[in-house]
Structure 1
Amino acid sequence: MNQERRDSLRDAAIEVLAEAGGRGLTHRAVDAAAGVPPGTTKNYFPTRDALLRAVAERCVELYHQVPTPPPTDRESLAAMLRALLENVAGPGRHRVLAISELQSEAARKPWLGAILDRVTAADFADFEHAQRAAGLPVTPHRAAILTLALHAALSHLLAGGPDTLAATGLDDLDEFVHRLLETIYGPPAPGQN
């Protein structure tokens, strides 16, 4: 099968899933979003589970394509974390919404959870590595707390409720990441970024 067409359909399915939710993810909706003749998506992904698998695998691929240079100090780590959170409200919004929808589906489909687990497991390892590269006294426990806090922030950023964003400090992402790092690691030492 044509890989370019396959990727185009998977990208369109991400958009449909992000815009219409799990119930709106149909072969017909993906055909329309991709601008292809009716039945094209069904030819590539014959069942809804095949379509869900294709979307999940595409989300994993796209996740690994985002280049993130390692931080060199605490301040560059804060900038990296802020940029990742800003991406949720910007260009990464559809992918994050799609992953959120897929996670809901995974509660009933363990095979789907196994695909998505690759992204989550990578996050824990990547954020631990980033904290270490920034020169922080990272431990697996500290790395897990930071990663879990970032993951918890995603749903609130996606929903965008101003009262919730203000209550959680997510209305000021720069302040949020600095306070998160301070909560986990304490204030920076004098002269340290």
Structure 2
Amino acid sequence: MARNAERRTLLSDAAVRVMSRQGSRGLTYRAIDAEAGVPTGTSSNYFGSRDEIIAALLTRISERLQPESGSDVPLAEGTEDTRGVEVFAAYLRDIVHRLTADRDAALALFELRLDATRRPSVAEALRAWRRDGLAADVEFSRTMGLPGDRSEIVLFHYALDGLLLDRLTVPIDDDADPDEAVTALARRILGH
């Protein structure tokens, strides 16, 4: 069977859904093929090993979670001192919105993190992916002139991971507004 980019994307999206819904133990060639609605054996033609499936998952999740073209972080009103914090809060809210809107991608990431505790090859791939993501976030913040240095951006990652896990699973407070939480978080971490 000839390989093509559309089929690979279809299979990668199916793998994301399988990982999200069934976890690592359910992530098999057969499950990916069934989820994608393709003949049995198709995914093994595209991914030669479990490590290749994991790499494809990470690549596809990255693609799915990118901001849509033309969507910029809104400029915030306020004083010079607070405007940067408010723009940064808007940026963080956008991240939370993208992750909660693509529930399968976000849950698949959490499943990969759990799987990384048991599989060194997953840990290695995920560690590299997360470090690259952090470096990109730090560079983006610096380039955009947003407040916060690397240590503060790491704190935001810790906090957003907890917020997302809460919102995507069993919320501690069903009535809490994630946007308000993110705004308060940005103001507190950045000292405003």
Q: TM class, shorter-chain normalised? A: 0.7 to 0.9
Instruction: Select between 123-132 and 146-155 the one with higher mean Cα deviation.
Output: 123-132
The corresponding residue for 1:9 is 11
Q: Distance in 2 between matches of 1:71 and 1:140?
A: 22
Give the secondary structure class of the aligned counterpart of 1:108. Answer: coil
Instruction: Select between 66-75 and 109-118 the one with higher mean Cα deviation.
Output: 66-75
Instruction: Select between 5-14 and 63-72 the one with higher mean Cα deviation.
Output: 63-72
The corresponding residue for 1:77 is 88
Q: How does 1:7-86 map to 2 (within 5 A)?
A: 7-63=9-65, 69=72, 73-86=84-97
Give the secondary structure class of the aligned counterpart of 1:11. Answer: helix
Change (3 A) 1:135 1:30: closer
How many Å apart are 1:3 and its aligned residue? 2.5
Q: Distance in 2 between matches of 1:139 and 1:82?
A: 18
Task: Give the unaligned 5+ runs of structure 1.
Answer: 188-193
Is the 2:113–2:123 contact (alpha carbons within 8 Å) kept by the matching residues of 1? yes
Select the residue among 121, 135, 152 that pairs with 1:111. Answer: 121
Q: Distance in 2 between matches of 1:4 and 1:88?
A: 23
How many Å apart are 1:38 and its aligned residue? 1.4
Q: Residue by residue, what CA displacement relative to the aligned partner does 1:21-44 show, whole Å, maximum 9, x if unpaired?
A: 212212112111111111111222
How many Å apart are 1:180 and its aligned residue? 0.9
How many Å apart are 1:95 and its aligned residue? 0.8
The one-letter amino acid paired with 2:92 is L
The corresponding residue for 1:179 is 184
The one-letter amino acid paired with 1:40 is T
Is the 2:117–2:123 contact (alpha carbons within 8 Å) kept by the matching residues of 1? yes
Q: Distance in 2 between matches of 1:57 and 1:51?
A: 10
Q: Distance in 2 between matches of 1:118 and 1:61?
A: 16
Q: Distance in 1 between matches of 2:33 and 2:118?
A: 26
Change (3 A) 1:165 1:122: farther
TM-score norm. by structure 1 comes to 0.77
- In percent, how many aligned pairs have the same letter? 34
Aligned residues: 180
Q: Distance in 2 between matches of 1:44 and 1:130?
A: 33
Is the 1:123–1:147 contact (alpha carbons within 8 Å) kept by the matching residues of 2? no
The one-letter amino acid paired with 2:54 is L
Give the secondary structure class of the aligned counterpart of 2:23. Answer: helix
Instruction: Select between 63-72 and 75-84 the one with higher mean Cα deviation.
Output: 63-72
